[in-house]
């Protein structure tokens, strides 16, 4: 079990780090070339498209992953039917996106960007990532993602030189996703065949099974990026640009958390079916892993926030500093929430998970309505923190009923906090004594933290 998780996490982490690194380069480059307002238009278009993508996916990847994890190699018909249904839903979603953009887009450029970014929904419908996650084969998924991101990164630098080239950005992104899609299709066809279906009865069964996940997707989207849409329509594209820059950095952290979650979820499913006690130990290991990773990230990010934003994006993005710090605390609580939510999904407590997302979405919307008019991007970031904290507390109360044993070792917390304090002092000292690039301070902080903590904390991370 531990070897499978380690191999999957290592491969997935390597791929995600490369992909996120390329994506980060793209974000930095586009933010500098386009400026806050025009980069804000791109971010707003992506946020709007993401809601129509919910219909295109309709929770089917989650259902597919869970079913494939159970049946493993006897999944040919299952995969073909979900694959076919996703294509039909993507076509319907794109037509809906066109109608929305035609009537409601505030500018012709936003309408055009929405349509171009919407093309990615069509290619994503053929993306078999959910199958490879269910099979615990993150190596193939990693290769596919790296290939697509390499293409997108290279051609963005090559073709986008100023704001007049803004339409190249979604086209390049679409072509990169096509490359990733075709690679996974190629690997899958070497394992088993893939057929295209149109069976209303079968589709109805899948849609019924995936509806709870579709609803959770909508709710997740509401408190995941509704703030960006509120900012765009109430304040303007420039404020979206500031907020998006801060959020994109946090997405890198979310990506690492997501790949670890993907690696552990299939194992959690099997453990709760075979050995509940071992599943409890596995939950404890995952929580301690998240804490070991996130506590120093929040501390170091808070200390270096201004240097990070201004060094990578320029002084013009200085208003993004406070939102960035707040979003670090959001992703801290999100990491813990995802770990607890995985347990609920593993034991098929989908209704509790749905209630969790309803609570988070409502909290996020209300907080945005109250905070954005006064605090703009900072208000949006604050709303994210408040919503995720509420979600985390709610999940704690629900998961405690399923697993009421000790979740975190007190000695582990003491060791992590002590190491974190030493790292923070080291970073502050380097800042005061030297005028190095912020990347040097980040690297020094990582080395100090790992050097001090790992000899004592490794046994807690590996336990389970």
Q: What are the tens digits of pLDDT across the range 182-202?
A: 999 999 988 888 888 777 777
Q: Do 96 and 161 touch, CB atoms closer than 8 A? A: no
- DSSP H helices in 235-320: 237-274, 276-313
Domain regions of the chain by residue span: 1-198, 212-409
Please tell me the distance from the alpha carbon of residue 280 to that of residue 285, in angstroms, as a whole number. Answer: 9
Look at residue 36 in the predicted model and tell me its pLDDT. Answer: 92
Look at residue 10 in the predicted model and tell me its pLDDT. Answer: 65
Residue 208 makes CB contacts below 8 A (sequence gap 6+) with none
Look at residue 370 in the predicted model and tell me its pLDDT. Answer: 95
Question: Within the chain, how many helices (H) and strands (E) appear?
Answer: 14, 0
Instruction: Say which residue the tokens 């037509």 belong to.
Output: 95
Please tell me the distance from the alpha carbon of residue 145 to that of residue 216, in angstroms, as a whole number. Answer: 25
Residue 392 has pLDDT above 70, yes or no: yes
Alpha carbons within 13 angstroms on the beta-carbon side of residue 122 total 15
pLDDT in tens, 307-344: 999 999 989 999 999 999 999 999 999 999 999 988 88
pLDDT in tens, 121-174: 999 999 998 888 888 777 888 889 889 999 999 999 999 999 999 999 999 999
pLDDT in tens, 228-258: 888 888 888 889 999 999 998 888 888 778 8
Q: What percent of the chain has pLDDT over 70?
A: 93
Please tell me the distance from the alpha carbon of residue 171 to that of residue 118, in angstroms, as a whole number. Answer: 10
- DSSP H helices in 160-199: 168-191
In angstroms, the Cα distances linking 444 to 22, 313, 447, 448 are: 22, 21, 5, 6
């Amino acid at each position: 079990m531990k070897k499978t998780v380690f191999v999957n996490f290592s491969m997935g982490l390597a791929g995600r780090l490369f992909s996120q690194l390329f994506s980060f380069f793209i974000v930095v480059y586009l933010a500098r070339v386009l400026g806050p307002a025009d980069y804000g238009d791109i971010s707003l278009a992506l946020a709007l498209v993401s809601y129509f993508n919910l219909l295109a996916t309709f929770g089917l990847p989650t259902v597919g992953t869970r079913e494939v994890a159970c049946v493993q190699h006897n999944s040919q018909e299952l995969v073909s039917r979900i694959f076919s249904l996703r294509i039909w839903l993507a076509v319907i979603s794109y037509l809906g996106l066109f109608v929305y953009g035609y009537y409601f887009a505030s500018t012709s450029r936003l309408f055009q960007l929405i349509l171009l970014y919407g093309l990615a929904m069509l290619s994503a419908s053929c993306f078999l990532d959910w199958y490879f996650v269910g099979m615990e084969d993150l190596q193939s998924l990693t290769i596919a993602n790296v290939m697509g991101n390499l293409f997108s990164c290279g051609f963005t630098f090559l073709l986008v030189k100023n704001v007049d080239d803004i339409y190249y950005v979604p086209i390049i992104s679409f072509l990169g996703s096509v490359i990733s899609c075709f690679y996974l299709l190629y690997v899958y066809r070497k394992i088993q065949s893939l057929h295209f279906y149109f069976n209303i009865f079968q589709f109805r069964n899948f849609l019924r099974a995936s509806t709870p996940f579709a609803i959770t997707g909508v709710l997740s989207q509401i408190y995941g990026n509704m703030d960006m849409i509120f900012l765009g329509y109430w304040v303007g594209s420039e404020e979206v640009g500031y907020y998006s820059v801060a959020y994109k950095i946090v997405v890198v952290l979310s990506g690492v958390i997501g790949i670890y979650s993907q690696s552990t979820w299939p194992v959690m499913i099997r453990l709760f079916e075979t050995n509940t006690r071992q599943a409890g130990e596995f939950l404890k290991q995952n929580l301690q892993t998240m804490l070991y990773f996130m506590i120093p990230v929040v501390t170091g990010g808070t200390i270096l926030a201004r240097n990070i934003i201004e060094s990578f994006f320029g002084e013009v993005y200085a208003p993004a500093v406070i939102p960035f710090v707040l979003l670090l605390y959001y992703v801290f609580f999100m990491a813990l929430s995802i770990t607890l939510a995985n347990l609920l999904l593993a034991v098929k407590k989908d209704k509790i998970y749905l209630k969790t997302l309803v609570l988070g979405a409502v909290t996020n919307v209300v907080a945005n309505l109250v905070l954005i008019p006064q605090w703009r991007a900072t208000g949006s970031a604050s709303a994210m923190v408040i919503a995720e904290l509420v979600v985390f507390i709610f999940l704690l109360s629900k998961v405690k009923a399923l697993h009421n044993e000790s979740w975190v070792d007190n000695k582990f917390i003491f060791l992590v906090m002590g190491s974190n304090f030493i790292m923070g002092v080291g970073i502050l000292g380097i800042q005061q004594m030297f005028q190095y690039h912020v990347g040097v301070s980040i690297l020094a902080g990582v080395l100090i933290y790992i050097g001090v903590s790992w000899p004592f904390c490794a046994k807690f991370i590996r336990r389970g």
